[in-house]
Amino acid sequence: MTDSEVAVGVTHVADDTMKMTGCGSCGMYMILEGAPGKSFVCMKCRLIELMEEKIRGLEMQVESLVEFRKGFEQIMEQRHEVSEGKSSDLQMEAGLGNSEGRLGEESGQWKHVTKRTRQRKRRASEGEIELQNRFAELENEEGAQQVVTEGDRARKKRRAVSPIGKGEELMEITPNMSPRKIQDGLKRITRENGNGKNLQPEGTGDRLENSTVTRKRQVYVIGDSLLRRIDRPVTRADPENRRVCCLPGAKIRDVDLRLKRILKGAGKNPLIILHVGTNDTARFSLESIKGDYVRLGRTLKEIEAQVIFSGILPVPREGQQRCDKIMTINRWLRQWCYKEGFGMYGHWEAFMDRGQFSRDGLHLSREGNRLLGWRLAQLIKRALN
């Protein structure tokens, strides 16, 4: 067999594997390997579908904001009308009171009130100052005994008012003492007497409770190994109140099991951002993944928090079939989050470049980590403000 015959055979084999396929949406033809599905849609048409879904979601959000604003304006108008009615009633009562005050007691005649000048206090002249020795009474024994008896009477009065029982040490509380000093003194007396009673004076507990500093809102970013090396851009603005919890290889079920333990001590109404689901798309079916998301949503509703789901990123190494599955899950996740009252933030268009992923085609490169961290930091800023 000659070289020309071999070349002709190779071209025939290539023609058999490459086939012309038309897009079911735009009608454009493409040459693809193998036999594609019946409902083939090109990448451009998929991007257009995603943009249309985003526009529909934004329109729904705008409509809800317009309705909220109308309701808020109606409430403010009602409050304004009520306040105007109260102010008019107060003015009428004040006018009646002034008119009654101006009328004199004699035959209802008006009185003419002149402007009065303030009477300045006269300063004592040097001759009126009395000089005396405050310690003169201590020079004799009678004065000393009188001072001691007066001090004992004052202590007895304070002991009768104080909640400390008889036989216990008395702690004198002065008006200038801070609540911290008062509490420390009470703790010391309790330790010395071995009595666990509450010796805190009346009124000091309210001051101590009011002096506590309010805690800032906590932020938790929880997800799989794609959250590696994003803690610095996410926590830079507030390192004390922001946490990034990376669970390598975690699936939706794993996050559901560990969620309450991670959020222990999170405070009131924390912000939770969840980035999970990439590992589930490689092993489980669509129905199984949807069921896991529903169970995770039930757990989140038991926690009073603001929840935002981060969309699943593409996986370049797996090919078109895996990407189609991920896009289907992201579309369902957006609709489900809107229905359940959660937030959803997608990243699909921002991670179409292959250079944003590492060599394995699954994890992010340093550039991809910086981009994901920056996007999540901006999302946290908008959610908190």
Q: What is the pLDDT of residues 210-224, one digit of tens each?
A: 445 567 889 999 999
Residue 49: the pLDDT is 85
169: pLDDT confidence band, cut at 50, 70 and 90?
A: very low
Higher pLDDT, 22 or 117: 22
Residue 163 pLDDT class (50, 70, 90 cuts): very low
Q: What is the pLDDT of residue 218?
A: 92
Question: When comparing pLDDT for 240 and 15, which is higher?
Answer: 240
pLDDT of residue 356: 86
Residue 157 confidence (pLDDT) = 60
Contact between 173 and 182 under an 8 Å Cβ cutoff? The reply is yes
Residue 250 predicted with pLDDT over 50: yes
CB–CB of 226/234 below 8 Å? no
What is the model's pTM? 0.47
Q: Which two tokens stand for residue 222?
A: 């929880």
- Nearby residues of 228 by Cβ (< 8 Å), 6 or more positions away: 246, 248, 363, 364, 369
Give the rounded percent of residues in the chain with a pLDDT score beyond 70. 61
Local confidence band at 80 (pLDDT 50, 70, 90 cut-offs)? confident
Per-residue pLDDT tens digits for 272-329: 999 999 999 988 999 999 999 999 999 999 988 999 999 999 988 878 888 889 999 9
Q: Which pLDDT does position 8 carry in this prediction?
A: 44
Contacts by 296-301, CB closer than 8 A, 24 or more apart? 296/252, 296/255, 296/256, 296/259, 297/336, 297/340, 297/342, 299/256, 299/259, 299/260, 300/259, 300/272, 300/342, 301/340
Q: Looking at residue 114, what is its pLDDT?
A: 67
Residues 169 and 189 sit within 8 Å (Cβ to Cβ): yes
Band the pLDDT of 353: cuts 50, 70, 90. Answer: confident
Which pLDDT score, from 0 to 100, does residue 145 have? 56
Least confident residue range of 114-128, 172-186, 344-358: 114-128
pLDDT of res. 221: 94
Higher confidence at residue 9 or residue 10? Answer: 9
* Residue 118: predicted pLDDT: 54
What are the tokens at 24?
Answer: 């079911």
pLDDT confidence of 257, banded at 50, 70, 90?
very high
Q: What's the mean per-residue pLDDT of the chain?
A: 76
Rank 136-150, 182-196, 330-344 by mean pLDDT and report only the highest: 330-344
- Better-predicted residue by pLDDT, 204 or 139: 139
pLDDT of the residue at 40:
73
